[in-house]
Amino acid sequence: MDGAMSSPERVRVVLAQRRGARIVRTRVEVQEQTAVGDAMIRGLVRTQLVLAIRLALLAACLLCAVPLVMFLFPALSNVSVLGIRLPWVVLGALVYPVLLTTGWIYVRQAERNEQEFTDLVDD
């Protein structure tokens, strides 16, 4: 009766690890720059280029917005902060955090793209 009440022993099922020819083949294709390897590398370069262009356009739009805002709202141009006019404070001090943040985002995303490429090659 004890055997009827207890559940059957659990068995752990693990998918087989992929090894061997596929990993070696993918790495060889990239290293020897075969058609497949060349396409993979061009895809990585294209991804990095698109990322760089998007972030450059974003930074340019943010930086070009400052003079546009000053033109549309001329009263802001006359405001002084510590004796310095606001447009100069914004362009002289706030530009650097925008550029540093843009650079930080680029490095982070570029490393993520490279890691995905490495995972793809190693997979």
| 48 contacts: CB under 8 Å, gap ≥ 6 | 110, 113
Query: Does a structural domain hold residue 20?
Result: no
The token pair that represents 62 in the structure block? 């943010």
- The total number of structural domains in the chain stands at 1
Checking if the pLDDT of 76 tops 60, the result is yes
Give the N- to C-terminal CA distance of the chain in Å, as an integer: 50
Query: Does a structural domain hold residue 31?
Result: yes
Query: Does a structural domain hold residue 93?
Result: yes
How much is the pLDDT for 41?
84
Give the model confidence (pLDDT) of 85-112 as tens digits: 888 888 888 889 999 999 999 999 999 9
How much is the pLDDT for 86?
86
Domain extent, residue 35, equals 25-120
Query: Does a structural domain hold residue 55?
Result: yes
Q: Are 32 and 26 in contact (CB under 8 A)?
A: no
How much is the pLDDT for 21?
46
Query: Does a structural domain hold residue 16?
Result: no
Query: Does a structural domain hold residue 14?
Result: no
Of the CA atoms within 13 Å of residue 82, those in its CB half-sphere come to: 3
Give the model confidence (pLDDT) of 5-20 as tens digits: 666 777 665 555 555 4
Q: Containing H/E element for 80?
A: strand 80-81
